[in-house]
Amino acid sequence: MADGANATLAGGRRGEADATSGTPRRLGGDALLAAVAAVFTVTQLIFVHPGMGLGWDETVYVSQVTSHHPAAFFSAPRSRGVSLLVAPVASWSSSTELLRVYLAVLSGLGLYLALRCWKGLFPARVLATAGAFFATLWVTLFYGPQAMPNYWVAIGALICVGCFLRAWQGLPGRAAPWGVVAGTALMAWMRPTDAVWVTLPLLVLVLVRRRPLLLLALVGGLAAGGVEWVIEAYGWYGGLGERLSRASEIQGGLGWNLAVDDQMRSLGGRGLCRPCTGAMPHPVVTAWWVLLPFVAVLGVAVAVRARRAARTLIPFACAGTAALPYLLMIGYAAPRFLQPAYALLAVPVADALWHLVRTEHGRWRPVAATVVALALTGHLVVQLTVLEGTVDRNIESRRDWSRVAGELHRLGVRPPCLVTGHESIPIGYYAGCSSGATSGNNENTTAAEILDTARRVPVAAVTGPGGTTPGYARDWTPHRVTDLTVRVAPRR
């Protein structure tokens, strides 16, 4: 990390100089990054059908800003960033298709802008490869057009670290510190705790090296993005410590929990692995995940040998701290949690792949190039296969919620109304009702309040397979809806 601006520029490859000199080269690099982002956007719209209904977490975020549905309970770990992100569409339209297209286009634009922040640090071909690697992971394609925070934390991480490196190594341009502020704020806006983990190596580095401007940019970005979350903590949860404690409780209690195997189980297309049981996916599905850190380490070794260690070691370190809480501190897994780590590791991985297929003098290594091309082709096929299965399962599960909502309407449970019990948040959203829970992570009401509400509006209590009917609804008329039991409160 001791290499400075002069060492960086002098020790770079010829391709790096070519990538940053001359207008035609700049335009060519921009066009390449734009092409990657455009293909990413189109691929989302092809494979993740815009008509796919909203998922559980999406209904929470979208309901906060739409006028077509009551706002669902907003638990302690959540942040308002996603709700604000979707507000330009969700505030006036209830069309899921329009929202998906909007988010797909926005995610493509975000990827392009994030990759551009790394110009001058790596050749355009490396950045395009990094973008393509990250963009073709099934988890990136699946969550890109969804109202979820993790992809946007990943984009913020790329912007923050890329601009940090530009400022750290003295590359031309005065906007880099502002890019650090913007990227850090975007992360904190979406998930404040993730922003702290990603920026931890950067904060340590600027404190040790005494770089006050970059320290101010990092702290300012964290403050700008996280201020609403902190204010809300004092307004609703009794303070920041109480909110963090409640968030930890909802996540199963943060502490030593080895979740590496859980993350591997989730790679087969499971959106949430909690509890994470069952067999591991086929080795062909998890092979890329096992190889990823080794290829990234090769990228670090390449950078050290070329005397440009900082630009690779820093994103590598930030990827490690971003992944640490989700690999070692929670007792469950979701593949989307590691998106920021994947985005940051994509840069050294891409650099390593180009090192494998080309010599320092730009000549191709035919055998290595063939092997890498075949491996990447197989990797792409696996990712798209997992994506297709994941999309199909989610479409069906969300149709189930829509069918239950339709049956509730037939039973007279129409807005304004209240749904409680099993999966009350998504079912309530699809039915246009408020949702309530008397226990669990989304506890927001009591049995007495539910009974009082039933005197004024239709109320339904949903019991899942093998579940127990809540005491307040035992005398209500039961109805069988799919594999659920729905009890509707008598009107008085």
Instruction: State how far the Cα of 48 lies from the Cα of 271, in Å rounded to an integer.
Output: 14
Q: Tens digit of pLDDT for each residue in 14-42?
A: 334 344 433 344 457 899 999 999 999 99
Burial status of residue 275 (CB atoms within 10 A of its CB: 0-12, 13-18, 19 or more): exposed
> 460 with 417: CB under 8 angstroms?
yes
pLDDT (average), residues 126-149? 98
Tell me what pLDDT residue 185 has: 98
Tell me what pLDDT residue 79 has: 96
Q: Which amino acid is at 141?
A: L
Tell me what pLDDT residue 245 has: 93
DSSP category for residue 66: -
Instruction: State how far the Cα of 386 lies from the Cα of 395, in Å rounded to an integer.
Output: 14
Tell me what pLDDT residue 421 has: 96
Instruction: State how far the Cα of 313 lies from the Cα of 379, in Å rounded to an integer.
Output: 25
Max Cα–Cα distance, the chain, nearest Å: 84
Model confidence band, residue 9 (pLDDT cutoffs 50, 70, 90): very low
SS3 418: strand
> Phi, psi (5° rounding) for residue 484?
-110, 160
DSSP category for residue 122: B
pLDDT (average), residues 388-413? 96
Burial status of residue 101 (CB atoms within 10 A of its CB: 0-12, 13-18, 19 or more): middle
Q: Tens digit of pLDDT for each residue in 295-335?
A: 999 999 999 998 889 999 999 999 999 999 999 999 899 99
pLDDT tops 50 at residue 383 = yes
> 37 with 107: CB under 8 angstroms?
no
pLDDT (average), residues 398-425? 97
- Give strand pairing partners of 434: 418
